[in-house]
Amino acid sequence: MAQEIIEAPLPGRILQVNISVGNHVNENAVVCTIEAMKMENPILSPVGGSAVEVGVSPGQVVKVGDKIAVIEY
């Protein structure tokens, strides 16, 4: 099985995380929401599969390239 690492495309604060380890994730599903410059930015999964790692939690500050999640497909 292959893995897709979802990284933060912009710096900001994690508002909510919509997946947990073991969840099935559909392609284009919202994995989490990042607040940046008072705007809420949904982060989508580029693939469908199973979440094997979730690297963020609500309130956490992330920078570009930080690992958000790993999806195995």
pLDDT tens, position by position, 38-57: 999 999 999 999 999 999 99
- What DSSP character marks residue 63? -
pLDDT tens, position by position, 15-29: 999 999 999 999 999
d(CA 55, CA 37): 22
Number of domains in the chain: 1
Q: How confident is the model at residue 1 (pLDDT cuts 50, 70, 90)?
A: confident
Closest CA to 51 of 34, 26, 33: 26
Which CATH number goes with the domain that contains 40? 2.40.50.100
Q: How confident is the model at residue 68 (pLDDT cuts 50, 70, 90)?
A: very high
Domain containing residue 52: 3-72
- pLDDT at residue 5 tops 90: yes
Q: Strand, helix or coil at 41? A: strand
